[in-house]
Structure 1
Amino acid sequence: MVVPELRPWRAAKPHVKRVANAVRPRLARAADAVRPGLTRTVDAVRPRLARAVATAKPRVARIAKAAKPQVARGTRPKTWQFTAGAATAGLALAAAVATAAGPWDSSGQRTAERDRAAAQEQTGGADHGDDSDTTASAPRPAPSAASVLTGLGGAGSSVKSAPNGPALADVLDPLLADAALGTRHTAAVVDVATGKQLYGAGADAALTPASTTKIATAVAALSALGADHRLTTRAALEPDTKELVLVGGGDPTLTARKDAEGWASLRTLADETAAALKKRDISQVTLSYDTTLYAGSEIHPIGVNDNLAPVSALMADEARTDDSASGPAPRVSDPAADATRRFAEFLSDHGIRTTSPGPSKATGRSDTLAEVTSPPLSTLVERMLTNSDNDIAEALARQTAVASKQRADFAGGGQAIRAQLKKLGLPLSGADFNDGSGLDRADKLTADLLTSLLAEAGDPSHPELRPVLTGLPVAGFTGTLTSRYTDGAAGIVRAKTGTLTGVNTLAGTVVDQNGRLLAFAFLASDTSSATAAQAALDRTATALSACGCR
């Protein structure tokens, strides 16, 4: 369904398509030229970016001039004007940027972005249902993290200077005044290359952030544990009692499904455990499970909810009772017991008999028979941000608490997140963390903090934080932005969404008209319509992408 205010965009499509057809051959030649290496890539792409921006600038100037009288009158420029500006200015820019950064992942994600940026009517990539001559494989650590940032122009010396505040205010103020954004809203825009705030509207006022809290959780976890850290699930045998203990390591991505390539597999753990038991001539064990890595209540303050399983150190497939891998779903009430029962079934396939499982704790005398590990933390962070995965978010908050020697419960996770961000020198005034997912309405963050987190993730001195940027949903392509921005700024805006009843937020990055990488955060409270609020936030991010603002 097309939002009524977006319908005029259809009239602009033929022009955009002609521009796309004109630049596509040059983009193909550029792609061939930049593939040999990242260093040569960046050097080769910068002139093309400058020429692409210079070519598009007159069109954007005309659009901005046409919209200026409406801004002066206090009315909102039509969405298609910002969309057309973003599309025209961004066609060659986004396509060359995508090529420079390399494949988004093995399924051709960044190839799909390039195709979509070059021609708004095309899609591609395994993640989107269409073929882009790539094949899917196991998840990997943060893909081309450093080159993503470099390719976006944040560190390029030839990229034009950052936009100025008054010009940004002329564009953003009328859009943020939209009644759809409720009675309280705040905003901030930061130049990622310098960390300088370019625009602020109540940027230091703390509001409920909803799922944009996950940006803070990601930064804290990566800072405390490192991007290469993995979570281990193991099977331990007590030598004296022949008790077999399934020890949870807090991996919410542990799976019992057959197609588990690249993820920690409960089936593989059972296969290896059974083989080890047979070597010891053991065919029957007392089966138990250990969840003592975490403490406190497993139930989130919002209560039992399809958006989140009970938070346990041991679970399989996020305790989902269906075949889904993301989004709300019914969950089992005792994830650890359920995972251990499934483990017992896999052991039974190898002739190992077990008792009905119950809770226990592995001792220091136990022998580890087998273990499986999660993908690196960088991959977990990306999956969490892309899908807004609450189960991973709460697990990472507790892992941060464990690493910080805090009690691994909801409160301890919040305290650990705050402590890690304080170490990084981030602006925490007014911030309050009560969970890792943002489901708790008592959470409070500022637009200033959110943009500072994103800028920190782009800081060359913190490469371990780069998955925060690479994991952001891509407008029109991935995760919670898949069905948004389908008529403009697709592939250019990357942002984490946040939605609770009466709360709508958006925080991420965008490349402006002149190739500058900007971080932004928009928070709105007391909204009456989630759909209208989301559309208003998307219009604002789209306008930022079309802005030269000098």
Structure 2
Amino acid sequence: MIAGGTLALVLFGGIAVAAGSAVGAPVAASAPSATPTPTPTPTPTQTARPAPGAVPAASIVRSCSVADLASDPRLGSFQAQVRNATTGAVLYDRGGNTASRAASVLKVLTSAAALEVLGPDYRATTTVVKGAEPGSVVLVGGGDITLSRTPSGDESAYAGAAHLDDLAAQVEAAWAADPANPPLTKLILDSSMFGGAEWQPSWDSKELWDGYMPPITALQVDGDRDNPYNNTSTRSEDPIGRAGEAFAAELGGVSIERGTAPAGAAQLGAVQSQPVSTLVQQTLIVSDNAIAEMLARLVAVESGAGNGFESIQAGVLQGLAAYGIDTTGIVIVDGSGLSDDNAVPPNYLTQLFTKINAREGNLGALFDGLPVAGQSGSLSYSDRFTGDSAVADGAVFAKTGWIDTGYTLSGVIHAADGTPLTFAIYALDDVDDSAKTAIDALTAGFYSCGDSLSNQ
């Protein structure tokens, strides 16, 4: 064993010397040998696997066509757009970016602007103040065209409207409370809140005689109807005079003249309209022109745009700006949509109705006023959503429109597959009453297709 160990030591030393000679470094014979450094074990390497790519979402096959319904000649010059209200995707488009007359669908824009500029709780106030002359009072119109001459407790065409007899009772009580007051002898009518023309030049005068539109004044009663109980009733050419005569009859034995209230005059009485949230619903459900014009003019006044027809566009667009939708191309000359000069692209309506359907801001009040197919308002009439179109009853919430040169419909569809859709349909130019049937059939087609609606 000793001999073997000695041999190993000698051999190891020789190897060490040889190694030292190889690098040119002298090695002393008496130096102890260095401890060898262990060779590290190689770390195994692994090639990274490529990460799998995201699995693309399954594309929706939109093969449900309404081509036959859309080619109905009763639709005249046809425009339409349909949008998925959840995703915002445009499913169907025919001239959606072209601004055209929207008829009474324009009331949706007027209502949306009123809810923003005036707010849902705003009420128009009619007041009576002392006149400058002894024995005189001034009836000051605050823009409330719903003010009624019917007896309190007796509902006019405008449910919940303020009544002249209530206002007269307040005035008589306040007048009698001051012994220094002489007898009441004169009533002065102040309608200066609204200015300019009372009749939009592009309106056909037959709308007055047919009972659909009054002259627009800040002081009038019952929308200036001959019959205050009927939605459709002939209007006069002097709504201020009609209101004055009705109030004078309540006061008894007073003369009537036109004028303005003196600054700082003492108030003797006041009555208020329904809030804007209610007025919006009243104008939409039966397409009441007078309330729409009232709201448009109040929006113009409140926004600082002015108090005449020429101020409506600036006022309404100021209100619509809050909704963040491009209003390029929109022309608004009245609040009701009666004029052929109004212009709104269907694309704007489908975007606005997306916000209405989501009840953004105060727009829930607008949605709640929309007629419902087969159930309420102007979509429950006997000529709407009949026959095969009745499949969409209860699922279409929309504003109707009709003028001599076109029929329109725009709103929200809760489609058969559960998809909320927003839509706008214009049937313009050479059309007649049968266009409504064609519009309803196409709307029912949109309802049946839902998110599978094809643009072909």
TM bin, normalised by shorter chain, reads 0.7 to 0.9
1:130-186: CA deviation from partner (whole Å, max 9, x where unpaired) = xxxxxxxxxxxxxxxxxxxxxxxxxxxxxxx9x96834xx4333321211111x211
Q: Aligned pairs, how many?
A: 378
Larger radius of gyration: 2
User: Could you say which residue in structure 1 is the equivalent of 2:298?
Assistant: 399
The CA distance in 1 between the partners of 2:124 and 2:88, in whole Å, is: 33
Q: Cα distance 1:165–1:367, how it changes in 2: closer, same or farther (>3 A)?
A: farther
Residue 269 of structure 1 aligns to a residue whose secondary structure is helix
Q: Check whether the contact 1:427–1:448 (CA below 8 A) recurs between aligned residues.
A: no
User: Could you say which residue in structure 1 is the equivalent of 2:71?
Assistant: 177
Q: Partner amino acid for 1:366? A: A
1:319 aligns with 2:202: no
Bigger shift: 384-393 or 252-261?
Answer: 252-261
Say which of 162, 167, 173 aligns to 1:269. 167
TM-superposed deviation, 1:376: 0.7
1:180-216: CA deviation from partner (whole Å, max 9, x where unpaired) = 111x211111233444433222110111111111111
User: Could you say which residue in structure 2 is the equivalent of 1:249?
Assistant: 142
Q: Cα distance 1:303–1:363, how it changes in 2: closer, same or farther (>3 A)?
A: farther
1:278-328: CA deviation from partner (whole Å, max 9, x where unpaired) = 11244323211111111100012225332211100011011111244313x
The CA distance in 2 between the partners of 1:205 and 1:343, in whole Å, is: 48
1:369 aligns with 2:268: yes
With structure 1 as the length reference, what TM-score do the two structures score?
A: 0.66
1:425-473: CA deviation from partner (whole Å, max 9, x where unpaired) = 22322211111111110111111111122122234541x1222211111
Q: Check whether the contact 1:337–1:358 (CA below 8 A) recurs between aligned residues.
A: no
1:535 aligns with 2:437: yes
Say which of 158, 168, 176 aligns to 1:278. 176
User: Could you say which residue in structure 2 is the equivalent of 1:547?
Assistant: 449
The CA distance in 2 between the partners of 1:233 and 1:247, in whole Å, is: 6
The CA distance in 1 between the partners of 2:60 and 2:298, in whole Å, is: 40
Q: Between the two proteins, what is the percent identity of the paired residues? A: 33
The CA distance in 2 between the partners of 1:383 and 1:338, in whole Å, is: 23
Say which of 330, 334, 340 aligns to 2:244. 340
1:479-525: CA deviation from partner (whole Å, max 9, x where unpaired) = 22122124412222121111122311110111111223221100121
The CA distance in 1 between the partners of 2:351 and 2:122, in whole Å, is: 24
Q: Check whether the contact 2:130–2:136 (CA below 8 A) recurs between aligned residues.
A: yes
Q: Partner amino acid for 2:402? A: T
The CA distance in 1 between the partners of 2:276 and 2:305, in whole Å, is: 20
Q: Check whether the contact 1:296–1:409 (CA below 8 A) recurs between aligned residues.
A: yes
User: Could you say which residue in structure 1 is the equivalent of 2:372?
Assistant: 474
With structure 2 as the length reference, what TM-score do the two structures score?
A: 0.78
Bigger shift: 189-198 or 537-546?
Answer: 189-198
The CA distance in 2 between the partners of 1:220 and 1:336, in whole Å, is: 27
1:393-452: CA deviation from partner (whole Å, max 9, x where unpaired) = 111110110111012111211221123223422232221111111111011111111112
The CA distance in 2 between the partners of 1:514 and 1:391, in whole Å, is: 38
1:450 aligns with 2:344: no
The CA distance in 2 between the partners of 1:478 and 1:471, in whole Å, is: 10
User: Could you say which residue in structure 1 is the equivalent of 2:284?
Assistant: 385
User: Could you say which residue in structure 2 is the equivalent of 1:33?
Assistant: none
User: Could you say which residue in structure 1 is the equivalent of 2:393?
Assistant: 490
Residue 126 of structure 2 aligns to a residue whose secondary structure is strand
Q: Check whether the contact 2:419–2:451 (CA below 8 A) recurs between aligned residues.
A: no
1:355-385: CA deviation from partner (whole Å, max 9, x where unpaired) = 1x12111122211111111111011011101
The CA distance in 1 between the partners of 2:123 and 2:421, in whole Å, is: 31
User: Could you say which residue in structure 1 is the equivalent of 2:123?
Assistant: 230
The CA distance in 1 between the partners of 2:123 and 2:116, in whole Å, is: 14
Say which of 413, 417, 429 aligns to 1:514. 417
1:40-99: CA deviation from partner (whole Å, max 9, x where unpaired) = xxxxxxxxxxxxxxxxxxxxxxxxxxxxxxxxxxxxxxxxxxxxxxxxxxxxxxxxxxxx
Residue 65 of structure 2 aligns to a residue whose secondary structure is helix
Q: Cα distance 1:460–1:326, how it changes in 2: closer, same or farther (>3 A)?
A: closer
Q: Check whether the contact 1:427–1:452 (CA below 8 A) recurs between aligned residues.
A: no
Unaligned runs of 5+ in 1: 1-160
The CA distance in 2 between the partners of 1:253 and 1:438, in whole Å, is: 19
**Pairwise CA RMSD:** 2.1
User: Could you say which residue in structure 2 is the equivalent of 1:152?
Assistant: none
The CA distance in 2 between the partners of 1:279 and 1:332, in whole Å, is: 37
Q: Check whether the contact 1:454–1:468 (CA below 8 A) recurs between aligned residues.
A: no
The CA distance in 2 between the partners of 1:459 and 1:265, in whole Å, is: 36
The CA distance in 2 between the partners of 1:516 and 1:164, in whole Å, is: 13
